[in-house]
């Protein structure tokens, strides 16, 4: 193999690894975000704060399926409280869609609820 070709191959490989690992060469740490706060304390929510943080999307998906397709519009919590399955219910405590957008834009995960639902 000619020297010229070797330079091309190994140079190319080096460039590739540099580009791929570039993000890790940067100093610093992740940006902090302000965690949005609900108007009322988290005991009012249908589940614990930890559970909702991890599973709110599953809850919403379940609500949408069971209310639209089965007509089951009432959510009953394990301790017997009842909520209407609606985004309105969420925003009664959580204010506005800003509550969602805050984290979602940070995580670059776009919720597609608000193309139709228009709770402010």
Site string for another protein, 12-51 (x = CB under 8 A): ----------------------------------------
Q: Which residues pair with 74 in a beta bridge?
A: 84
Q: Among residues 80 and 115, whose Cβ is nearest to another protein?
A: 115
Point out which span in 12-20, 38-46, 95-103, 110-118 binds another protein (CB under 8 A): 110-118
User: Reduced to 3 states, what is the DSSP secondary structure of residue 75?
Assistant: strand
Cα–Cα distance measured from residue 33 to residue 24, given in angstroms and rounded to the nearest whole number: 21
Q: Does 119 bind another protein (CB under 8 A)?
A: yes
State the DSSP H helix or E strand holding residue 73, giving kind and residue range, or none if neither: none
Cα–Cα distance measured from residue 117 to residue 106, given in angstroms and rounded to the nearest whole number: 21
Residue among 36, 62, 64, 93 that touches another protein (CB under 8 A): 64
């Amino acid at each position: 193999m000619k020297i010229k070709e070797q330079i091309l191959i190994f140079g190319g490989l080096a460039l590739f690894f540099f580009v791929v690992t570039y993000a890790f060469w940067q100093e610093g740490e992740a940006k902090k975000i302000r965690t949005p706060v609900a108007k009322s304390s988290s005991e009012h929510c249908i589940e614990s704060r930890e559970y909702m943080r991890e599973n709110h999307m599953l809850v919403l998906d379940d609500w949408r399926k069971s209310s639209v397709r089965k007509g089951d519009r009432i959510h009953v919590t394990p301790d017997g409280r009842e909520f209407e399955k609606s985004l309105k219910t969420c925003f009664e405590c959580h204010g506005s869609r800003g509550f969602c957008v805050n984290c979602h834009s940070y995580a670059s995960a776009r919720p597609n609820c608000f193309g139709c639902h228009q709770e402010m």
